[in-house]
């Protein structure tokens, strides 16, 4: 059993290790904590460690305070997009076990646990960046998605958001989610394409906005963790391949900046712009370094993008896609 009471099948030792990572009482906790906090530093920014829980996975985002603040902005933005809701999947009120995969600083998991006090919620991530004071029905554990070891037929709802560029094989991942869900349980995957588009040609081919998406898609190819899954329709296809039914796909636009006339879209756009401006250097650093960009190239690009973000004439937007599906009741 892990701390949240979810059954983790397979290696009991591994589950115990996850427990002890968060337990002050365990004699081994100091060394495990050291291991997960043995961060890598790239160009003065902090990245997750490579240890027995993370494996060799390489996540492209920093895990320092500046980058983590971006998650606070995006969480607010998603709340606005969903009119205050946390998901689209039609969950029953009596969900008992809920997983948030790649939880980050845990904003979604905390809100969900607060709203569903009878549910046990667990958030997994490769970085121990979650707050300590959280609702009592929420626990976090350090776990790589690729080391999936949750039991079959055990979970009511699995949620994941913004895992673009984190997963080598979405089809295998969705199959594992399917196996761990209870019959009738729900899965929701929420992603944003990295490409910035415009409907009025204001975002032109040589602008920093229009090059932003390629930076991630090209980097994702080298990393072996694709970034174009929204364009490729991977979420729906992988859900269908895994056997999910009642699949629902919602595609929507996220304006960048307050250029929309509609007040709600203005708020969403402003939150998106804040998220980008908070740490665009940190958001792009790993990919740019991997693609061999010099310090000067990175600086110039970031300055151009910051400048473009100030312009109300550039009507850029991202595409977002929320796909939910249900595990069949009978096999």
Ligand X SMILES: C[S@@+](CC[C@H](N)C(=O)[O-])C[C@H]1O[C@@H](n2cnc3c(N)ncnc32)[C@H](O)[C@@H]1O
List interacting residues with ligand X (CB under 6 A).
Answer: 48, 57, 59, 61, 71, 74-75, 102-104, 107-108, 124-127, 144-146, 161-163, 166
Cα distance between the two ends of the chain: 26
CB of 264 to ligand X, least distance (A): 20
CB of 127 to ligand X, least distance (A): 4
**CB closer to ligand X out of 146 and 260:** 146
Measured distance CA(230)–CA(54) in Å, rounded: 25
**CB closer to ligand X out of 108 and 227:** 108
**CB closer to ligand X out of 17 and 207:** 17
**CB closer to ligand X out of 144 and 274:** 144
Phi-psi region of 40 (alpha: psi -120 to 50; beta: other; left: phi over 0): beta
> 90: exposed, middle or buried (C-beta count within 10 Å: 0-12, 13-18, 19+)?
exposed
Q: Specify the pairing of strand 120-125 against strand 97-101.
A: parallel
State residue 87 phi and psi, 5-degree precision: -165, 165
CB of 108 to ligand X, least distance (A): 6
Q: Which residue is nearest to ligand X (CB)?
A: 104
CB of 263 to ligand X, least distance (A): 24
Measured distance CA(57)–CA(49) in Å, rounded: 10
Measured distance CA(260)–CA(10) in Å, rounded: 51
Give Dmax over CA atoms of the chain in angstroms.
61
**CB closer to ligand X out of 19 and 125:** 125
Q: Specify the pairing of strand 97-101 against strand 155-161.
A: parallel
Token pair 């968060």: residue: 22
Measured distance CA(275)–CA(77) in Å, rounded: 9
CB of 225 to ligand X, least distance (A): 8
**CB closer to ligand X out of 147 and 246:** 147
**Using an 8 Å Cβ cutoff, are 100 and 294 in contact?**
no
**Using an 8 Å Cβ cutoff, are 96 and 119 in contact?**
yes
CB of 15 to ligand X, least distance (A): 16
How far, CA to CA in Å, does 252 sit from each of 98, 233, 319? Answer: 25, 14, 6
CB of 146 to ligand X, least distance (A): 6
**CB closer to ligand X out of 74 and 326:** 74
**CB closer to ligand X out of 83 and 206:** 83
CB of 216 to ligand X, least distance (A): 11
Q: Kindly report the number of other CB atoms within 10 A of residue 171's CB atom.
A: 13
């Amino acid at each position: 059993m892990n701390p949240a009471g979810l059954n983790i099948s397979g290696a009991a030792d591994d589950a115990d290790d996850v427990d002890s990572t968060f337990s002050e009482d365990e004699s081994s906790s100091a060394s495990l904590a050291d291991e997960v906090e043995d961060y890598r530093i790239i160009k003065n920014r902090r990245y997750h460690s490579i240890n027995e829980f993370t494996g060799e996975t390489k996540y492209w985002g920093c895990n320092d305070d500046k980058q983590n603040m971006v998650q606070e902005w995006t969480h607010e933005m998603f709340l606005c997009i969903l009119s205050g809701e946390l998901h689209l999947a039609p969950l029953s009120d009596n969900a008992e076990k809920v997983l948030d995969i790649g939880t980050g600083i845990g904003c979604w998991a905390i809100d969900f646990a607060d709203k569903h006090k009878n549910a046990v919620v667990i958030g997994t991530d490769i970085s121990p960046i979650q707050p300590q004071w959280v609702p009592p029905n929420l626990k976090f554990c350090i776990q790589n998605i690729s080391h999936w070891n949750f039991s079959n037929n055990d979970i009511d709802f699995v949620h994941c958001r913004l895992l673009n560029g984190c997963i080598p094989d979405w089809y295998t991942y969705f199959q594992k989610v399917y196996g761990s869900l209870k019959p009738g349980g729900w899965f929701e995957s929420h992603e944003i394409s990295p490409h910035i588009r415009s409907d009025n040609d204001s975002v032109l081919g040589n602008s920093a906005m229009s090059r932003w998406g390629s930076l991630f898609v090209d980097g994702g190819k080298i990393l072996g963790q694709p970034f174009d899954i929204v364009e490729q329709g991977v979420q729906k296809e992988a859900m269908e391949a895994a056997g999910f039914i009642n699949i629902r796909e919602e595609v929507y636009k996220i304006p960048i900046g307050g250029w929309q006339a509609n007040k709600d879209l203005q708020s969403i756009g402003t939150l998106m712009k804040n998220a980008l401006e908070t740490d665009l250097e940190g958001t792009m650093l790993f990919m740019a370094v991997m693609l061999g960009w010099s310090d000067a190239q990175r600086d110039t690009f970031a300055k151009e993008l910051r400048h473009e973000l100030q312009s109300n004439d550039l009507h850029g937007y991202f595409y977002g896609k929320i796909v939910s599906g249900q595990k069949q009741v009978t096999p």
